């Protein structure tokens, strides 16, 4: 077919447009660049920031929220949101602690029961979303409160002390243990987080399930018409998220040392923050699973860097707030090309 040229609308791309196109093709580069720039900045500004000890500490500090962010991003990829992740995690850790320390149940069984509870909460969330067709935001806002109530009921508002765990159930603290790699101190909790992301990366990019998760997040109606059993996949996503929260619960006991019903209150929003800063779209269907890992590390880097510079804690929140807003603004700017 020959085409007579009617009009030509070409123009030289400006630098900004070239960057825009590059980032549109490789959206994960945004958080990667932010991470590199912020690490470089704090390396110059904050004493000891680049020490192996400090870098290890940052990873240890983001391990629990990072694992939760993996669960959160699965749900967000389907254009949903899970406000109950932190409550589920605390619920699972309370179940593990109560069974193992207070009731003398064999520790592996207590841990299995806690993880099973995570699966169960995911099943409840997923069933409410798919069967009753409630919006995920409302569903998980409801179950957030219900699960917190269960946490208080089961724990009697009491903290299980670190010494008691050491005495009767040290396996609960497995993910707090560490090994040395050169000057770096790596906890098993960090390895767990990396393993969760690695498994999700394979599942999302190389299996039919992953393609379906993205398709549903992109356009659930189109996915259903194309023959995907949308409800079945959605349910599996919430159950998987619950499972990851259960693993995060085990990891959190190692990180904190004790089991407290009032711990990790802010982990919900921190997990969403990591996902957003990483660049996964809240509208679903877009973004790499590597994104929330990078997002969580960026928040950790800012917190650590500002603290080492001796800046008041309030400025950490201030910086995180701006990071969220800038991340979403950049995301919108990049996406202008697609429309």
Partner 1 sequence: MTQNVLEARGLTKRYGRVTALDGCDFDLRPGEILAVIGDNGAGKSTLIKALSGAIQPDEGEIRLDGRPAHFASPLAARQSGIETVYQTLALSPALSISDNMFMGREIRREDLLGRWFGILDRARMDRIAREKLSELGLLTIQNIGQRVETLSGGQRQGVAVARAAAFGSKVVILDEPTAALGVKESRKVLDLILDVRARGLPIVLISHNMPHVFEIADRIHVHRLGRRLCLIDPKQHSMSDAVAYMTGAKVPEEVLAA
The tally of CA atoms less than 13 A away on the side-chain side of residue 102 is 15
Count CB-CB contacts under 10 A for residue 108.
Answer: 11
Nearest approach in angstroms of CB 222 to partner 1 is 4
109 is an interface residue for partner 1 by CB under 8 A: no
Nearest approach in angstroms of CB 36 to partner 1 is 26
310 is an interface residue for partner 1 by CB under 8 A: no
164 is an interface residue for partner 1 by CB under 8 A: no
338 is an interface residue for partner 1 by CB under 8 A: yes
219 is an interface residue for partner 1 by CB under 8 A: yes
> Residue 227, exposed/middle/buried by CB under 10 A (0-12, 13-18, 19+)?
exposed
221 is an interface residue for partner 1 by CB under 8 A: yes
CB nearer to partner 1: pick between 152 and 209: 209
SS3 label, residue 336: coil
224 is an interface residue for partner 1 by CB under 8 A: yes
Nearest approach in angstroms of CB 240 to partner 1 is 14
Nearest to 257 by CA among 129, 164, 143: 164
CA 155 to chain centre: 26
C-alpha distances in Å from residue 95, one per residue of 150, 152, 267: 10, 11, 19
Mask of contacts with partner 1, 266-305, x by CB under 8 A? -------------------xx-------------------
Judged by CB under 8 A, which of 209, 265, 317, 326 binds partner 1?
209
Please state, in angstroms and rounded to a whole number, the distance separating the CA atoms of residues 94 and 150.
10
CB nearer to partner 1: pick between 180 and 229: 229
265 is an interface residue for partner 1 by CB under 8 A: no
226 is an interface residue for partner 1 by CB under 8 A: yes
Q: List phi, psi (to 5°) of 160.
A: -85, 120
> Residue 173, exposed/middle/buried by CB under 10 A (0-12, 13-18, 19+)?
buried
For residue 180, list its beta bridge partners.
185
Q: List phi, psi (to 5°) of 243.
A: -60, -45
CB nearer to partner 1: pick between 24 and 161: 24
22 is an interface residue for partner 1 by CB under 8 A: no
Token pair of 113 as six digits: 């029961």
- Which one of the spans 130-138, 163-171, 206-214, 252-260 is the region binding partner 1 (CB under 8 A)? 206-214
CB nearer to partner 1: pick between 3 and 44: 3
Which residues lie near partner 1 (CB under 8 A)? 202, 206-209, 211-212, 214-215, 218-219, 221-229, 285-286, 338
């Amino acid at each position: 077919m020959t085409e007579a040229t009617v009009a030509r609308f070409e123009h030289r791309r400006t630098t900004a447009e070239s960057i825009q196109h590059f980032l549109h093709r490789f959206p994960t580069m945004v958080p990667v660049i932010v991470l590199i720039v912020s690490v470089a900045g704090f390396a110059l500004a904050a004493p000891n920031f680049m020490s192996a000890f400090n870098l290890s500490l940052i990873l240890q500090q983001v391990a629990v929220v990072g694992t939760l962010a993996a669960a959160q991003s699965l749900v967000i990829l389907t254009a949903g949101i899970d406000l109950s992740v932190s409550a589920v995690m605390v619920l699972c850790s309370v179940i593990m602690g109560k069974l193992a320390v207070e009731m003398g149940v064999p520790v592996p069984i207590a841990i299995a029961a806690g993880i099973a509870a995570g699966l169960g909460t995911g099943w409840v969330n997923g069933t409410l979303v798919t069967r009753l067709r409630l919006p995920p935001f409302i569903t998980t806002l409801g179950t957030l409160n219900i699960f917190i109530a269960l946490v208080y009921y089961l724990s009697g508002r009491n903290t299980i002390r670190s010494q008691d765990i050491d005495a009767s159930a040290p396996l609960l603290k497995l993910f707090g243990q560490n090994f040395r790699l050169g000057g770096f101190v790596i906890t098993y909790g960090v390895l767990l987080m990396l393993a969760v992301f690695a498994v999700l990366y394979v599942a999302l990019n190389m299996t039919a399930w992953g393609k379906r998760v993205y398709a549903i997040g992109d356009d659930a109606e189109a996915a259903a018409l194309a023959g995907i059993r949308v409800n079945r996949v959605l349910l599996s996503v919430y159950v998987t998220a619950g499972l990851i929260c259960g693993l995060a619960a085990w990891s959190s006991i190692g990180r904190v040392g004790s089991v407290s019903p009032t711990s990790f209150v802010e982990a919900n929003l921190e997990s969403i923050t990591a996902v957003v800063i990483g660049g996964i779209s809240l509208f679903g269907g877009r973004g790499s699973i590597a994104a929330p890992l990078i997002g969580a590390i960026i928040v950790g880097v800012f917190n650590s860097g500002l603290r080492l510079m001796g800046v008041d804690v309030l400025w950490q929140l201030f910086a995180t707030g701006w990071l969220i807003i800038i991340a979403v603004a950049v995301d919108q700017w990049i996406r202008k090309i697609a429309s």
